[in-house]
Amino acid sequence: MITSEEVRKLFINFFEKRGHKNIPSSSLIPSDDLSVLLIPAGMQPLKKYFTGEKNALNDFGTQRLISIQKCFRTTDIDEIGDERHLTFFEMLGNFSFSPVGSDDPSDYSNSGYFKKSAIYWAYEFLIQELGLKIDYVSIFKGENNIPLDEEAKKIWLSLGLSEDQIKLFGREDNFWGPTGDEGPCGPTTEIYVDNIEIWNLVFNEYYQEKNGVLRKLNLRGVDTGMGLERLMKVIQKTETIFETDLFEPLRITLLNLKSDINQRDLRIILDHLRSSVFLISDGVLPSNLERGYILRRILRRLMLKLVKYNLLDYLDQLVLAVKNKFNSIYENLNNYDKIINVIKGEFVSFEKTLRRGLNKFDRIVVYRNREEMIEKLFIMFSSYGLPLDISAEILKERGVFLDNKDLELFQILFKKHQEVSRPTNE
């Protein structure tokens, strides 16, 4: 069976042979970009090459780059526990910047390319290198004054896909970006294997302004992204991404310690532990602000689950399992002492609150209707310090899901409470 380590090598070799330079993953913390808190995609550190503010030929000697970028998607935090969502993941991507040269897939030079080479190489890599079978692809159907992507369609037909295998979708599904408030973006073609979208090829020809208006760039860029976890799922034919080798030896270590962890909790532990380790190794520390708060939230939810299964004492072993999988790729994971100390520090400061909250929860959160339920959750927060996300997770375990109305009510109670407790000069 092909391992993720082998897939990394195959990807790098394939594209290096075709004139690309492999650049190391950037830190999860953006270096000179305030538009996002954490890097959500492989293209983010390369934004300036798409807009023309920077020139890849000057900086790298080629208009063709590849990376395996560490990514973190904050929007998916509440979805973790299902079969496919992750906060932290790695994204394989090949990129090309203007000016576009011949766009001939047999041109292995350092010039820019566009749709034809991007699609040919994606096809070749999946079919010939990995032995996968494409079920179907999607292309942009044309919407909001942006035309149907006839060119992508023709290219796919020339590769032997039938009309039925080329689905047409609009802005919602087949147009990517921008990340943050503004930036480069464009129509996409997406490749599905085993009914899973595994590779997104973006043709960056537009720039979206802060007010939402799209303008056509004079440049044509290619930004592709293939999540390594999903790719490994289809290669290794596992039931979900969580059984791929990317979560070993952590998954086996956990199951050896506790064989009765339910699927959802297991996935939360796998995801949150891995993402905390990566965030901390890149310099994020828990706090009440921005990325520090994101880390704090996932660490606290992780702690809730470790406490539930009496796994807190095995933290060192679990963190080591993540380190051992990835430290040959990401050297800063070798800073094991720092990582474990940050996690333990957060756990120590939250432990008393969590244990007291768990003790009181069932006695206090007794309710006859939603309103009363939220009032009780507010008491858990205001009198016992239990954060709403932790209460929400405890309820989720019991099949009770908070909706937007519940969250609004909680906010109203929060504001009232602030007003009452604000000191006055009267």
Q: How far is residue 384's CA from residue 42's CA, in Å, rounded to a whole number? A: 41
Number of residues in contact with ligand SER under rule CB under 6 A: 10
Q: Closest approach of Cβ 147 to ligand SER, in Å?
A: 21
Residue 316 structure tokens: 């060192």
Q: How far is residue 380's CA from residue 367's CA, in Å, rounded to a whole number? A: 13
| 174 interacts with ligand SER by CB under 6 A | no
Of 23, 37, 202, 279, the one binding ligand SER (CB under 6 A) is 202
Region of 107-115, 221-229, 230-238, 367-375 interacting with ligand SER (CB under 6 A): 221-229
| 43 interacts with ligand SER by CB under 6 A | yes
Is the peptide bond prior to 286 cis by the omega test (within 30 degrees of 0)?
Answer: no
Describe the crossing of helices 404-421 and 370-384 by its angle, rounded to 10 degrees: 40
Kindly tell me which of 225 and 357 has the beta carbon lying closer to ligand SER.
225
| 42 interacts with ligand SER by CB under 6 A | yes
Q: How far is residue 406's CA from residue 128's CA, in Å, rounded to a whole number? A: 51
| 225 interacts with ligand SER by CB under 6 A | yes
Is the peptide bond prior to 105 cis by the omega test (within 30 degrees of 0)?
Answer: no
User: Which of 168, 188, 189 shows the shortest CA–CA distance to 176?
Assistant: 188
Kindly tell me which of 81 and 225 has the beta carbon lying closer to ligand SER.
225
| 190 interacts with ligand SER by CB under 6 A | no
Q: Closest approach of Cβ 44 to ligand SER, in Å?
A: 8
Of 72, 175, 176, 378, the one binding ligand SER (CB under 6 A) is 176
Q: How far is residue 139's CA from residue 234's CA, in Å, rounded to a whole number? A: 21
CB 177 within 8 A of CB 46: no
Kindly tell me which of 191 and 268 has the beta carbon lying closer to ligand SER.
191
Of 41, 46, 219, 380, the one binding ligand SER (CB under 6 A) is 41
Q: Closest approach of Cβ 179 to ligand SER, in Å?
A: 8
Of 19, 93, 186, 187, the one binding ligand SER (CB under 6 A) is 93
Kindly tell me which of 230 and 296 has the beta carbon lying closer to ligand SER.
230
Region of 136-144, 160-168, 222-230, 259-267 interacting with ligand SER (CB under 6 A): 222-230
Exposure string (b/e) for 95-120, b if CB count within 10 Å is 16 or more? bbbbebbebebeeeebbbbbbbbbbb
Q: Closest approach of Cβ 122 to ligand SER, in Å?
A: 11
Q: How far is residue 306's CA from residue 328's CA, in Å, rounded to a whole number? A: 27
Q: Where are the beta strands (DSSP E) in 194-317?
A: 196-208, 214-227
| 86 interacts with ligand SER by CB under 6 A | no
Interface residues with ligand SER (CB under 6 A)? Answer: 41-43, 93, 176, 200, 202, 223-225
